Structures are given as C-alpha cells and as structure tokens.
Amino acid sequence: MLTRDITLDDCILDLIDNSVDGAWAHSGEDPAIIEKSDTLSDYQIDIKFDGSSFSISDNCGGITLDNATSYAFTFGRDPDAPEADNYSVGVYGIGMKRAVFKIGNDVRIQSTYSDNGGTDSFAVPINVKDWMQESKPPWDFDLEQATPAQEPGVRIDITGLSRETSTRFASPAYTTALRRVLARDYMLPLMRGLRISVNGEPVHGWTLDFREGDDFKPLRDKYADNGVDIEVIAGMVTAPPVDSGPDDNDPSKHDTSGWYVFCNGRAVLAGDTSRVTGWGEGDVPKWHRQYSGFAGLVLFSSKESIKLPMTTTKRSVDEGSAIYRRALQKMAVPTKAWTSYTNTRRNALEEAGAKEEMTRSVPLAAVPLSKMIALPKLKRISARQEIANVNYAVAVKSIRSLAAAFGDVTMTYRDTGLRAFDYAYDDLVAHD
C-alpha cells in the first residue's frame, strides 16, 4: 500500500527533497525568497544509477541520531516530538521509507552528522523482504555504528532493484527525462546555487524570464494567509503565436507557458494549463494554444509544512485546501487579463507585434512588485459582418473522438464543432 500510488520519479524526488530540506536548514537560508545567488553553492546532491544499482549522496548536514529515532526511521510523526521549525516539504513521515522500498530490496542508509564539535555516523541496513515479514508494529529498523564521511550528509545505496526499476534505470531516455524533471521542479534552489548531478552530469535549472516594456508589466504580489506566505508572479514570457494551429507547435522546444505552483521552493505543478490551476473554471476559459506565452508562478511558503496545499506525492496540489482556493481567485485575475489580450490581439496583430517587440527580458528574481498585470490596450478592428449559422449532424462516436483529439473528452458538441471550424480555417484560410 505504501508504494502503490507513487511513481519511480516520485521516489527519487522524495529522496532529493530530504537533501534539499537539509541544505535549507543547514545553511539557514529561506526558500520563501526568490533570488539569484550562490547561497546554496556549498551543497551538492549526486544521483547515480544503472540497471543494477541506485545511489544518492549529499553533504547537506545529515540526519542526527535523535531525528533518526524520533522521525526519519519511524512511520508517521511521534506525537511527543517537537514540530519542525523549518521550511521543509516533508510532512507525513513516510517519504524516504516508501521511496527506498519502491526502488529495490537491499538498502543501506548512512548518515554523518555534527555532534558536540565533532562528527558521528550511523547506518541503517534494510532488507525489504525480510523487514516486511514483521506483522505488527512498531516496525523498527536496526541502527549500527558507521565510519563518518568527510562531510555531514546522507548516502543511500540500493541494490536488488525491482524489474521495472532496473529496466528504466538502464535506459538513456530515462536519464534524460529525469534530468529535465529535476531542472524544472528544483529551479528555485538551483537558482540559489544548489548543485545536483545525475550520473556525473550537472543539472541546470530552468529559467523563467518575463517580458517588460512600456505596455507590458508582469504582476508580482505578496500576501499572507493563515501562517502561509504567498507570492504570485504572472505575465508574458514570450509573444503569443500568430497562428494557434497545430503547425505552430514545434516539439523541439519546451513551452514554459502555464502556471507553476511551488511549496517551500519545490515545484508541485509545472506549466499547468488544466482546471487545477483555474483554466476552464468560472469565467476563465479553457486553455487554448492561443494563450501560449503566458506564465504564472505561485509560491507557498510556511515553517508549518502541514499547511502547504500539496498532495502526499508532492506532484500536485490539494484542491480542497482553503488557502489554495483563495489563491486561485488571485491567479484568475492575470489569467483573464491575458486571455482577453490575446482575443483582441487576433484582430490587431500588427500593432500587438510592434509593442511585443519593444519589450525586454526580466529574470524571475528581478520582477518588480506590482499588484496588477499591465497589457496593451489595442485598437481592435471591428467590422460589421454577416453571421452564418452552421448546423450539421455527425455520429456521436466521431464527435467524441474529435473532442478527445482536441484534449478534452468533456467538450460539448457545439464547442467541438467550433474548435474544428477554427482548426480548419487556420489551416486552410488564415495562411493565404
């Protein structure tokens, strides 16, 4: 049950989260601050794997013996243990355990930590199959003395990989995909100088640069909500496409459009264009390629990580969170402003293009505070046109298949027909 609802990526990110939490705590830095700096440059996380083994090591401070016995190697939180007073993303006390259980059978975890001016170390060897024979709590792990590493930190070595894990680790494509996920989801600590490597190659974090000019200004707002500090940044990152049809979609480029949701510096959603971040909810339209070029970031930060609106896998948001629902209302404001701008822009492409070309790039950390997004007021070309009503019948199976191809199986017949007309018009007429 512990490993059923998590993917291999979830497991690796859970282990990295522990290292990143250690780096934040050990450095005394605050993940609630978005800045470009080298404040975490002393901290390194190395991940290595192949078809037979996996390891992750760091120099991020290690797990103390007290922490090991009261939290790290227990299931859930000890009710008598003090609440964590740092900006961690570990909430439920199960992340590291279920991660290593998912990856393989033979596990050795070693921690080196500072102790009374020196260093001490312990190791936890786990044979997962043997350990699972225990039928009753407390389901303890054995700790043994170990030789300290050169720096305080944690090293985890896993062999006896599951068949699925072994196959994926042996694939070069998996290595490439994982590096991309890490570059995206840890862009904020990487921006602060944290070093992460995968099989010896460094990971370079994604960058989100916004466009600013006389007519364009991104929103950047900060507020607090019940013990959670929230920051919202949103605006244009690239000019919208002139043609929103399929030929404009270059698969060689990664599109940074959409909403990014961070909890204590860790991305739990990235480039999201679904109803989870408000698209298609209320008076916000569903995502369409016409809206490409817009990006928004919302950062939730709290020393009480239980208050953060994220799921147990940390790969999505808790949609039932009142804090998140209130944030959605603020996120909807720049989203609607952008969709309105792109609607007007379709009939004023020359004017819009000239204004967009006059913008300059502003790095994420340098975006100035502004409670409202600024976008051009275009002179919309309005001409009285005769309207034609189109009405035709097709097989239900066909219209549902078409809706699915457009990416939304719940689309109404009318909306599917309109989308099909726009698709055909853009492809056959708009280029002429």
Give 65 or 89, the one with higher predicted confidence: 65
- Tell whether the model's pLDDT for residue 252 goes beyond 50: no
410 lies in some domain: yes
> Considering the domain boundaries, does residue 97 fall inside one?
yes
Other C-beta atoms closer than 10 Å to the C-beta of 66 total 11
pLDDT at 194: 97
Looking at residue 90, what is its pLDDT?
Answer: 60
Peptide bond into 241 cis (omega under 30): no
Q: Which of 203, 273, 180 is nearest to 47 (CA)?
A: 203
Domain count, the chain: 3
- In the prediction, which pLDDT does 2 show? 58
What integer pLDDT is reported at residue 134 of this predicted model? Answer: 73
Least confident of 40-54, 102-116, 246-260, 331-345: 246-260
Query: For the residues 228-255, what does the mean pLDDT come to?
Result: 75
Of residues 70 and 357, more confidence is placed in: 357
Contact 342, 290 (CB under 8 A): yes
CA atoms within a 13 Å half-sphere pointing along the CA-CB vector of 203? 31
Residues 157 and 143 grouped into a single domain: yes
Residue 203 CA: distances (Å) to CA of 186, 199, 357, 361? 10, 10, 31, 23
Residues 39 and 142 in one domain: yes
Give 343-375 pLDDT, tens digit per residue. Answer: 999 889 999 999 999 999 999 999 999 999 999
* Position 55 pLDDT exceeds 60: yes
pLDDT of residue 429: 78
Residues 237 and 370 in one domain: yes
Is residue 2 a part of any domain in this protein? no
Q: Please state the rounded mean pLDDT for residues 98-116.
A: 91
Higher pLDDT, 26 or 72: 26
Residue 1 lies in a domain: no
> Are residues 262 and 131 located together in one domain of the fold?
no
Q: Are residues 190 and 225 in the same domain?
A: no
Phi, psi of 2 (to 5 degrees): -60, -35
Residue-wise pLDDT for 383-403, tens only, equals: 445 567 788 888 988 888 888
> If pLDDT is split at 50, 70 and 90, which confidence band does 248 have?
very low
Domain boundary among 172, 202, 232: 202
User: Does 355 map to a domain?
Assistant: yes
Same domain, 61 and 182: yes
Whether residues 379 and 405 fall in one domain: no
pLDDT value for 92: 40
Please say which residue of 202, 234, 251 terminates a domain: 202
Whether residues 397 and 370 fall in one domain? no
pLDDT at 79 over 80: no
Q: Is the pLDDT at 424 greater than 50, yes or no?
A: yes
Mean pLDDT of 149-175: 95
- Residue 351, in any domain of the structure: yes
Q: What is the average per-residue pLDDT within 306-319?
A: 87
User: Bridge-partner residues for 119, per DSSP?
Assistant: 114
The residue-averaged pLDDT of 148-160 equals 96
271 within some domain:
yes
> Two tokens at 223?
């507020």
Considering the domain architecture, whether residues 137 and 272 belong to the same structural domain is answered as no
Domain boundary among 158, 180, 202: 202
Do 76 and 24 share a structural domain? yes
Band the pLDDT of 250: cuts 50, 70, 90.
very low
CA angle 319, 411, 373 (to 5 degrees): 55
Distance in angstroms (rounded) separating the CA atoms of residues 184 and 260: 10
Distance CA(220)–CA(373), nearest Å, equals 8
Q: How confident is the model at residue 382 (pLDDT cuts 50, 70, 90)?
A: low
Q: What average pLDDT does this structure show over 113-141?
A: 83
Is 363 found in the same domain as 221? yes
The range of the structural domain enclosing residue 319 comes to 209-383
Query: Which band of pLDDT confidence, cut at 50, 70 and 90, is reported for residue 290?
Result: very high
Tell me, yes or no, whether 309 lies in a domain.
Answer: yes
Percent of the chain with pLDDT over 90: 62
**316 plus 181 within the same structural domain:** no
pLDDT of residue 237: 97
Range name among 100-104, 198-202, 383-387 with the lowest pLDDT average: 383-387
CATH code of 71's domain: 3.30.565.10
